[in-house]
Amino acid sequence: MSQQRFPLQLDPELKSKASNLARSQGITLSQFINLAIAEKLARAEIEALTGRAENSARRLIDFLNNAPDQPPLWETDTIPPDVLDKLRAGVPLRRDE
């Protein structure tokens, strides 16, 4: 990965605290700042993915709630009641469910 110089203006107290913490972790201030930015970006990506998953689950529930009340065409076209309860409650499902 290539690196670029980037002039960064930090509050002196913030820089001092960050430097002390970086030193206690055995890394440079530059490495500490890179890690902090990477962690913040990862958290933002997780929040975006979580929001999309929640939106998809809500859309699925809306779809299921608006589906016509008729028996399925095939016996295998049913959602087990315990899974349906979890979906309605917003409980995340494991992949094997």
Domain total for the chain? 1
Specify if 56 maps to a domain: yes
Specify if 27 maps to a domain: yes
Specify if 43 maps to a domain: yes
pTM: 0.55
* Domain extent for 55: 12-68+76-89
Specify if 64 maps to a domain: yes
* Contact of 21 with 13, CB cutoff 8 Å: no
* Contact of 83 with 61, CB cutoff 8 Å: no
d(CA 85, CA 80): 9
52 pLDDT above the threshold of 80: yes
Give the tens place of pLDDT for each residue, 3-51.
888 888 999 999 999 999 999 999 999 999 999 999 999 999 998 888 8
Mean pLDDT of 47-73: 84
97 pLDDT above the threshold of 60: no
Specify if 18 maps to a domain: yes
pLDDT of residue 96: 59
Specify if 94 maps to a domain: no
